[in-house]
Structure 1
Amino acid sequence: MFSIISEHIQQYETIIIHRHVRPDPDALGSQLGFKALIKQAFPEKKVYAVGEEEPSLAFFGKMDTIEDDVYKGALVIVCDTANTERISDQRYKLGEVVIKFDHHPNEEPYGDLVYVDTTVSSTSELVIAFTEVARVFKLTEEVAFLLYGGIVGDTGRFRFRNTTADTLRRTATLLETGFDSNAFYRNLYKRSLNMVRLEGYVLQNFEVIQEKVGVIKLTAEQLHRFGVTANESSLLVNCFADVEGLEAWAFFVEESETKIRCRLRSKSVSINEIAKRHAGGGHPVAAGATAYSWEETDVITTELVEACT
């Protein structure tokens, strides 16, 4: 399949790369890394990365603004996105051929070509695996910076159990390019005063239920008071993860009057089935969902407690 994807990239003059809404480091790293990889190999091609901007991760790079007619006859690659509902910029359907390139469970195999590998740590690692087969594509410092960022994000700085020997070997190939990993970390962990104060609030106010499940609920009013957006707050999802005894935790953030973003994590208990029951999905130990009332978040919390029992 890697060879087929490579052939399509070489065939098309216009390539448009998408990823999921509310992007995290892996979404942006794989998307922009793929773009840089293609441009390095084929500088004459028109390659675009589209979707909403995420200010807290602006150091990864900027998104392109394109008109609808650019999609005519174009190849579309969708990175790091399990289902069509979560694709940022729904114009992906306007392309001639759509490729799904992902590491999440393949619950919705959309697109004309589908390559999904759940054994890799991240879609960014999958891009590296692609270069191991499609050797026309070379890892440069720019590409390495972006893919390294995606791997670091999805492995929690290589602490999560999705970090494999292959992950570390592939990361080593990125480091061999000589890119500045210190610059990456300086940008990733830079915190505004507002974010530091919100983190203090979260640490003082999260609840521990039955000594197993940690929960924090952030209302829109609280986010406004601290001057932090709902997307920015996602950087704090693991800030109380190391509390002794916690097996799972939930980060509930009000995005609007009718929608609450639910970020669910665990150390070993499978939680993605819980997320699926609440308009979401994801990995067994890292998933997301949407609740439509605070009462529904209480239901999710109860389900997490039951899963940990």
Structure 2
Amino acid sequence: MKQDILNKIKLWDSIIIHRHVRPDPDAIGSQAGLKALIKSLYPDKKVYLAGEEESSLAFLASMDKIEDSLFAKSLVIICDTANTARIDDERYRNGAETIKIDHHPNVDPYGNLMWVDPSASSTSEMIFELFEEAEKEGFVMDKEMARLLYAGIVADTGRFRFPNTTEKTFFAAGRLIEAEFSRPELYDYLYETSLSLLRLEGYVLSEVKITPAGAGYVYLTKDILDKYKVTSKEAASIVNSFSTLKGLKAWVFFVEEEDVIRVRLRSKGPEIHELAARYNGGGHPMASGASLSDWSETEKVLSELEDLCR
């Protein structure tokens, strides 16, 4: 499949790369890392990054402005996105051909070619494997590609602490740091926080509750977010703030937005992705998200999470 993807890339002069909405470092790292890989292989190809600009991740890459007419004559590659509903920029549907590259469970097969590997720590790790395939033909590592893919791997593995970290992950990271980009600078960007977010984290630590079975939960209403001057998107970055709590097996953040309640699920053991799927969501066995229409549904989610922990 990796060789098939490289063959497709070789055929097209125009390539548009997408990722999921509300991107994290792996989404942008794999998306922009793939662009850097393609440009290092074929400098004359036109390669574009599609999706909304995410200011908090601008240190990784900026998105491109893409004319509507380009899609019909372009290969579209979608990174780190399990289902079509979460693809950022619906114009991907107008692409001449589509490739899916993802490490989530394949709940929504799409594309002319699919490379899905749930055993990979991140989609960035998969793009590194794509580089390894190209390397067999004599291509050398690009410094910018290495920086982007390393960022995606570090973020999705929680700095190599999560169970999705494997021997392959460490091998990829070891190869990527050979490019000698500034890791301290990258870590500073990845983990810097604002005073308002730090204060919200203090609120979360003081308000977290844990059930007898080990399910932790926090409610972040719009009033609370407004009080601390933090957006729902920014609040997502502190979802692991109490992950070291003794007795904790899984936890959930309920975060209120204008017309939806975001459910951010994390786990240290019980698999939670099927729970998320029952509530308009999905993701990994240990990290998932969902959406609710009103607060009454949060009690059902918490009850089911309690059952999983029990």
Structure 2: 5+ residue stretches without partners: none
% same residue: 51
Q: Distance in 2 between matches of 1:47 and 1:252?
A: 38
Match of 1:155 among 154, 157, 169: 157
1:205 Cα deviation after fit: 1.1
> Could you tell me whether the CA contact under 8 Å between 2:213 and 2:309 is conserved in 1?
no
Q: In the alignment, is residue 284 of structure 1 matched against residue 294 of structure 2?
A: no
1:27 Cα deviation after fit: 0.4
Alignment-mate amino acid for residue 34 of structure 1: L
Local SS of the residue matching 2:59 = helix
TM-score by length of 2: 0.97
**Partner residue of 1:210?**
212
**Partner residue of 1:303?**
304
Q: Which moved more, 1:214-223 or 1:6-15?
A: 214-223
**CA shift digits 1:162-212 (9 cap, x unpaired):** 100111011100011111111110001111111111111111111112250
**Partner residue of 2:271?**
270
Local SS of the residue matching 2:257 = strand
Q: In the alignment, is residue 14 of structure 1 matched against residue 14 of structure 2?
A: yes
**CA shift digits 1:208-240 (9 cap, x unpaired):** 122501111111222122121111111100001
Q: In the alignment, is residue 27 of structure 1 matched against residue 27 of structure 2?
A: yes
Alignment-mate amino acid for residue 87 of structure 2: I
> Could you tell me whether the CA contact under 8 Å between 2:252 and 2:264 is conserved in 1?
yes
Q: In the alignment, is residue 176 of structure 1 matched against residue 178 of structure 2?
A: yes
1:298 Cα deviation after fit: 1.4
> Could you tell me whether the CA contact under 8 Å between 1:2 and 1:134 is conserved in 2?
no
Alignment-mate amino acid for residue 205 of structure 1: E
**Partner residue of 1:72?**
72
**Partner residue of 1:237?**
239
Local SS of the residue matching 2:119 = coil
1:78 Cα deviation after fit: 0.2
**Partner residue of 1:106?**
106
Q: Distance in 2 between matches of 1:199 and 1:92?
A: 37
Q: Distance in 1 between matches of 2:22 and 2:257?
A: 12
In the alignment of these two chains, the number of paired residues is: 308
1:138 Cα deviation after fit: 3.6
Q: Distance in 2 between matches of 1:202 and 1:59?
A: 27
> Could you tell me whether the CA contact under 8 Å between 2:19 and 2:88 is conserved in 1?
yes
Q: Distance in 2 between matches of 1:54 and 1:222?
A: 23
Q: Distance in 2 between matches of 1:29 and 1:210?
A: 39
Q: Distance in 1 between matches of 2:158 and 2:268?
A: 12
Match of 1:143 among 136, 142, 145: 145
**Partner residue of 1:129?**
129
1:139 Cα deviation after fit: 2.4
Match of 1:190 among 181, 189, 192: 192
Q: In the alignment, is residue 45 of structure 1 matched against residue 71 of structure 2?
A: no
1:73 Cα deviation after fit: 1.2
Match of 2:250 among 237, 240, 248: 248
Q: Distance in 1 between matches of 2:211 and 2:56?
A: 31
> Could you tell me whether the CA contact under 8 Å between 1:22 and 1:231 is conserved in 2?
yes
1:28 Cα deviation after fit: 0.7
**CA shift digits 1:95-140 (9 cap, x unpaired):** 1000000010011110111110111100000001111112255422
